Chains A and B, each alone.
Chain A
């Protein structure tokens, strides 16, 4: 359809113009159906000095939603900006508030990364929901001026044997693979967790990381009077218009197609082309400001660009290229069609901009220009349908201090410890029992091999992947000359956080810190994705407030700033919320990724000494072992951030100085799982003994194997380095105990005096679980 025909089609609507709104103050508006509360609607009327037009109502309703405005969490999230020292700020080039934070890597390099949720779309339509989660986070990274270089996905599903879990996991994993693989981005890690608390609310979080030179950093703002505003990429369609069906009341045309589903549909090819085309725009310095279109589409992009700039913006909405010519202005403003970007271009760069679009065959349309009115004015065929102060849309939304209180049931939950419970009776004690327990643990849904998932992702594309799942962190080379690179790990434990939100969130941070340090990288910055239930439930609000307080306190103590992230609320079915699940993504830096430490020993490590760093306490509450027995209660393992810092320093230095060849952090499943995973990594056996450990820490063999005490790691040390390694740990007064040796001739994990576990048997059990359920 030609532009003229398209305009003619659109003319059929009965426009609610600003003039009309002023003249008809008493018109009933569907603000409640669009999700606004009465006080919020009254605030809109007050801000505008009149009733909003239908298009303005659409913009405010979506921009003032929980998802876009953070209205329930903002008061608490401030702590991430407040609890920051000057030292923590020194590497932060761009902080919270932009599309993604940017951290300095030195030598003129910078890195940007962010994690976001795409939970509810994935529940409704797993493939497209998960795919567009990747698409959205990657566009955030491009918007900063960076080349995306890797993605990661922490995933949480319902019970492994629930019939709906297969539907969700098949779709979500295929969607992440189908989209991410088509973009040429290696998927280097993440998590896969099964728990019935996520049955109706699976969590699909997506992380992307990008690399740029300092001079390429771009921000989302519209400055410069007379600069042109352009929308480019995919056409705007009816997908992703959540809850907007009421807007059809604008139309007198009954022949319109029915509303499409609220889940967006992704086109990874369009996104790949968009990546290359945006990078070419940046290289030629052809854009003054750029913003991706995600949640709230054009509403969000125009209001954020305008309010972050130094003037206003005039837009002609009929210039938007459409897939569906019957869309109303409100629908166009709210559409979340994927693979679109908005940019501000100075008049002298218009021709060069168009040449880049033409080269990559990307469609674009000029929508308007930057003004000095401080107003965002949107016209429909010349008639004004939106005239607002953009700050009131994008930044000055409602803010709530939601009531919160420690749940009444929290004390009883914490008093219900595993070992005192029925489930904690008859714990394995003999060698045979311990061996059977370890095999059961390693084949359980949360501890089994995740290769069924990760083998559906391309981990090699780009040629810079130095480590990927199942290693503790994903590692990507940044500079091919020096070997400088970054490491990333994501972690969360919903059970720990349920038992104690303040410390549970800190444990997630501690584990991600430990994972990055175990790979040999220096932890630098954090992005977080806070997945919680309804903020209108005071119990949930307390979990959220406690988790944010805990996380921000711990970030301060570890000296790693939060550079961005996302909050996902209302993850609950009926009155039952998910476990509070703060997912923490930690970014670390390597001077040379050649020094990375893999998470298992190879055959050429024969004879290397196996050491355990850290102290083992009797800490089974909330553990995977307790989970297998169906128990959840008590208190999570103790947080010791000072110990985490020392352990991190030891692991990083040992990696730099070549004192260790492999290392694995201890987390879910404890020492037993760590030893099993290290042996399985390259199928090389080992002989260890627990006696010294048990005697020193006063624990039995069962506790030694399955306790989830924090600040621990297992390392393999070449014989020639043992003295130096011991001296370093001793100098830092950090507990270290020699467990045994790597035995390349052996194909078993032998725990002396207890059991001899054949690695083939363990591997079969470890690998069989996911294929058994999902084919």
Chain B
């Protein structure tokens, strides 16, 4: 199997001797859907994707973690509410809050899990139009200093995939004011607000910039021919950003 091919079945962690670079974990819960896509995005940027199983405790010395999209545990109680208590999440929360400040990216259901974990403030509720919506979405980069956004320009507009049912970001006014004042809004929706999110917020970061969550999917915009409009690759910047961050690179 080559360095970039994903097997049809089972774990995708395969030691790739030629890559002595970063190891980025992708956590899989029962009901996770986009783990294989996140692993592909990581591989396309030259790092090694490491399967993390929700029930394990071992972070396997990964340098960063992606919490991918899906419907963890069916999301029957509230999106992300059960996943937050998975054993592996305990390790991730500790590592994100530690001095080492493990970079963590939460995409869609991953973002919901991060708010449930209190690594990020606010919450997501059902889209204001009450329907699942899949579309190519334009975002504006509002903070390009985080571990996951440093390869974008400030104010740059990128097109990635939006697809969710519970994507409306909500928080109290005080929190929203603080997020804006502290530059912790990482991405905002450009044009039509696709789900009623407060202040057009698509994604946010913690104060340290190591934890980022957003509803749209950068991992679906990494290969020409398979992304937005069958051409877009604007999502690659998330994954090159974290690699740059890990080697201590400055913009």
Contacts and interface: CB of A to CB of B under 8 A. Distances in A.
B63 to A, nearest CB: 23
A756 interface: no
Given A269-B76, A467-B230, A213 B8 contact: yes
Contact of A456 (B5, B8, B31, B132): B132
Given A178-B132, A213-B8, A456-B133, A269 B74 contact: yes
Nearest to A457: B134
A463 B220 contact: yes
A678 B220 CA distance: 25
A214 B76 CA distance: 37
A187 B163 CA distance: 12
Interface in B101-159: 131-135
The secondary structure that dominates the A interface is mixed
B36 A462 contact: yes
B163 A460 contact: yes
B10 A283 contact: yes
B30 A361 contact: yes
Contact of B226 (A276, A282, A463): A463
Nearest to A183: B33
A461 interface: yes
B30 A360 contact: yes
B33 A461 contact: yes
A178 B131 CA distance: 10
A201 B40 CA distance: 43
A594 B33 CA distance: 25
The 6 residue pairs across chains A and B that have the minimum distance between CB atoms: A269-B74, A184-B33, A463-B37, A460-B220, A283-B9, A279-B9
Given A279-B8, A455-B134, A464 B226 contact: yes
B82 to A, nearest CB: 11
Interface in A229-284: 267-270, 272-273, 276, 279-280, 282-283
Contact of B219 (A463, A465, A594): A463
Contact of A458 (B10, B163, B223): B163
A481 interface: yes
A448 interface: no
Contacts of A174: 131-132
A340 interface: no
Interface string B20-40: 000000000011011011001
B132 A268 contact: no
A749 interface: no
Nearest to A281: B9
Nearest to B40: A463
B57 to A, nearest CB: 15
A461 B220 CA distance: 7
B5 A480 contact: yes
B244 interface: no
A460 B230 CA distance: 10
A181 B132 contact: yes
Contacts of A213: 8
Interface string A459-485: 111111111000000000100110000
A273 B223 contact: no
A578 B6 CA distance: 45
B2 interface: yes
Contacts of A269: 30-31, 71, 73-76
Contact of A184 (B4, B70, B217): B70
B225 interface: yes
Contacts of A184: 33-34, 70
A405 B151 CA distance: 71
A606 B216 CA distance: 32
Contacts of B10: 279-280, 283
| Interface size of A as a range | 35 or more
Given A273-B31, A593-B225, A481 B220 contact: no
A267 B220 CA distance: 26
27 contacts: A147-B9, A178-B165, A181-B163, A181-B165, A183-B33, A184-B70, A211-B8, A268-B71, A269-B75, A269-B76, A276-B30, A279-B10, A282-B9, A456-B131, A456-B132, A456-B133, A457-B132, A458-B163, A459-B134, A460-B134, A460-B217, A460-B226, A460-B227, A461-B163, A465-B226, A466-B226, A682-B229
Interface in B195-251: 217, 219-220, 222-223, 225-227, 229-230
A177 interface: yes
A456 B130 CA distance: 11
Interface string A606-639: 0000000000000000000000000000000000
A212 interface: yes
B52 interface: no
Contacts of B40: 463, 480
Interface in B22-69: 30-31, 33-34, 36-37, 40
B161 interface: yes
A754 interface: no
A232 to B, nearest CB: 15
B45 to A, nearest CB: 14
A598 interface: yes
Given A276-B30, A458-B163, A466-B225, 19 more contacts: A147-B8, A178-B165, A184-B34, A184-B70, A211-B8, A279-B10, A280-B10, A283-B9, A455-B134, A456-B131, A458-B134, A460-B161, A460-B217, A460-B220, A461-B33, A461-B163, A465-B226, A466-B226, A598-B230
A182 interface: yes
A273 to B, nearest CB: 5
A216 B8 CA distance: 11
Contacts of B227: 460
A454 B132 CA distance: 10
A269 B8 CA distance: 20
Contacts of B34: 184, 461
A279 B11 CA distance: 11
Contacts of B133: 455-456
Contacts of B134: 454-460
A183 B161 CA distance: 18
Contacts of B230: 466-467, 598
Interface string A421-461: 00000000000000000000000000000000011111111
Contacts of A182: 31, 33, 71, 74
Nearest to A360: B30
Nearest to A478: B8
Interface string A322-355: 0000000000000000000000000000000000
A436 B181 CA distance: 53
Contacts of B30: 269, 272-273, 276, 360-361
B132 A463 contact: no
Given A269-B71, A467-B230, A455 B135 contact: yes
A462 to B, nearest CB: 7
Contacts of A211: 8
A460 B232 CA distance: 12
Contacts of A480: 4-6, 40
A273 B30 CA distance: 6
B132 A177 contact: yes
A480 B4 CA distance: 8
A183 to B, nearest CB: 8
Nearest to B53: A359
Contacts of A268: 71, 74
A467 B231 CA distance: 11
A212 B74 contact: no
Contacts of A283: 9-10
Nearest to B228: A460
A141 to B, nearest CB: 13
Contacts of A360: 30
Given A182-B71, A184-B33, A481 B2 contact: yes
Interface string A367-401: 00000000000000000000000000000000000
A463 B74 contact: no
Nearest to A467: B230
A608 to B, nearest CB: 17
B5 to A, nearest CB: 5
Nearest to B73: A269
